[in-house]
C-alpha cells in the first residue's frame, strides 16, 4: 500500500479511460491520448482496463493509474480483475492501484475473496487494493479484509444491489461515515452537481468514465433528448 499516493487522490477527480473491443475508441493509443487529455485538465488519476492500455497510459501520462483487467470466466459473473492472473498482469503493466470485484458473487474456481486479497498482499505489497463493491454490506466486508480503498463501481450492476439510474450517493455516504477507508464514488456520474454531492457525502475522490470518455454514449443521450423534444413539440 502507498499512503502518499492515496492521500494525493484526496478531493481529486479521477477519469476512467476505457473502451472495450467492440467500442469505436478501442485501442491503447487512443486511451493513452484520453489519459493525457485528462491530465491536462487536472485529473488526479486514471482508471484503465487491460495491461496494454495501462502500459501505454503509464508511458504517456504521469498520473497514477488504477488498473483493472476485465476478463470473463465460464463459471462466474465476476469480471473485474477476477483472479490473481489478471492482478499480476495489471501490476506488471505498471498500475499503481489494482481494483477488483469484491462483491459477494461467486468467483472463478469458487476462490474465496479473502484468499485472493491475502495473495495480492504477499505477492505485491507495494500495490494498493481498491475494492469494487455493490452494497454497503460488501463495503463493510471489504473493510474487514483491510483493503486500501473502496469504490462504489458495481452498485446497480449486481442482481442484489439497487438498480438505480443515478449514482448511488447514499452508498457513498453510508460507507464514508464509517470513517475507516477512503471511498471513491463511481458509477453513472454524469453531472457536475452529482459529482459535488458525492464529495458532500464524504467521497475521498470521484471517478467519472462514460460521460467523458465514451462519446457514443454521450451522443446517444443527446439524440434521445433531442428526439423526444422535437417529437413532443411537433
Ligand atoms: C460496471 C462496470 O463494469 N464499470 C466499469 C468499471 O471499471 C466501467 O465500465 C465504468 O465505465 C467505470 O466504472 C466508470 O463508471 P461510469 O462509466 O458510469 O462513469
Q: How far apart are CA 196 and CA 201, in angstroms?
A: 9
Encode pLDDT of 215-229 as tens digits.
999 999 999 999 999
pLDDT at 6: 95
Q: Which residues pair with 207 in a beta bridge?
A: 14, 186
Mutating to test ligand 1, I would choose from 14, 18, 169 the residue with most ligand atoms within 8 A of its C-beta, which is 18
Across the range 35-48, mean pLDDT stands at 98
User: What was the ipTM of the complex prediction?
Assistant: 0.99
pLDDT score of 143: 98
Q: How does pLDDT run across 60-71, given as a tens digit for each residue?
A: 999 999 999 999
Statement: residue 233 has pLDDT above 90: no
Under the banding of pLDDT at 50, 70 and 90, the label for residue 160 is: very high
Q: Give pLDDT tens digits for 175-209.
A: 999 999 999 999 999 999 999 999 999 999 999 99
Q: What pLDDT shows up at residue 3? A: 84
Q: Which CATH superfamily is domain 3-233 in?
A: Aldolase class I (3.20.20.70)
pLDDT value for 234: 56
pLDDT band at 231 (very low <50, low <70, confident <90, very high): confident
Q: Establish whether residue 176 lines the binding site of ligand 1, counting it when its CB lies within 6 angstroms of any ligand atom.
A: no
Q: What does the pLDDT look like over 75-96, one tens digit per residue?
A: 999 999 999 999 999 999 999 9
Residue 187 CA to ligand 1 center (angstroms) comes to 6
- Which residue is closest in CA terms to ligand 1's atom 14? 209
pLDDT (tens digit per residue) in 97-143? 999 999 999 999 999 999 999 999 999 999 999 999 999 999 999 99
For residue 2, what pLDDT band results from cuts at 50, 70 and 90?
confident
Mutation probe of ligand 1 site: the residue of 46, 67, 101, 186 with most atoms within 8 A of C-beta: 186
C-alpha of residue 230 to centroid of ligand 1, in Å: 31
Residue 32 banded pLDDT, cuts 50, 70, 90: very high
> Is residue 145's pLDDT more than 60?
yes
Domain boundaries of the chain, sorted by first residue: 3-233
Q: Residue 15: CB partners within 8 Å, gap ≥ 6?
A: 34, 35, 38, 41, 43, 45, 46, 47, 207, 208, 209, 212, 213
Centre of ligand 1 from the C-alpha of residue 153, in Å: 6
Average pLDDT over residues 48-54: 98
Distance 179 CA to ligand 1 centre (A): 24
Amino acid at each position: 500500500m502507498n499512503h502518499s499516493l492515496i492521500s494525493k487522490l484526496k478531493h481529486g477527480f479521477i477519469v476512467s479511460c476505457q473502451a472495450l473491443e467492440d467500442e469505436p475508441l478501442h485501442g491503447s493509443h487512443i486511451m493513452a491520448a484520453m489519459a493525457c487529455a485528462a491530465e491536462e485538465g487536472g485529473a488526479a488519476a486514471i482508471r484503465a482496463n487491460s495491461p496494454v492500455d495501462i502500459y501505454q497510459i503509464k508511458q504517456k501520462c504521469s498520473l497514477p493509474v488504477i488498473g483493472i483487467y476485465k476478463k470473463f470466466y465460464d463459471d462466474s459473473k465476476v469480471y473485474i480483475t477476477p483472479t490473481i492472473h489478471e492482478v499480476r498482469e495489471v501490476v506488471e503493466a505498471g498500475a499503481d492501484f489494482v481494483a477488483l470485484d469484491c462483491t459477494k458473487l461467486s468467483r472463478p474456481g469458487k476462490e474465496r475473496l479473502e484468499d485472493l486479497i491475502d495473495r495480492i498482499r504477499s505477492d505485491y505489497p507495494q500495490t494498493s487494493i481498491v475494492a469494487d463493491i455493490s452494497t454497503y454490506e460488501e463495503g463493510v466486508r471489504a473493510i474487514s479484509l483491510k483493503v486500501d480503498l473502496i469504490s462504489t463501481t458495481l452498485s446497480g450492476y449486481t442482481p442484489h444491489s439497487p438498480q438505480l439510474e443515478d449514482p448511488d450517493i447514499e452508498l457513498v455516504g453510508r460507507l464514508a461515515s464509517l470513517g475507516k477507508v477512503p471511498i471513491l464514488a463511481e458509477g453513472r456520474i454524469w453531472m457536475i452537481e452529482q459529482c459535488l454531492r458525492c464529495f458532500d457525502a464524504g467521497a475521498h475522490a470521484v471517478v467519472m468514465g462514460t460521460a467523458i470518455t465514451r462519446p457514443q454514449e454521450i451522443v446517444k443521450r443527446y439524440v434521445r433528448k433531442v428526439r423526444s423534444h422535437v417529437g413532443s413539440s411537433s
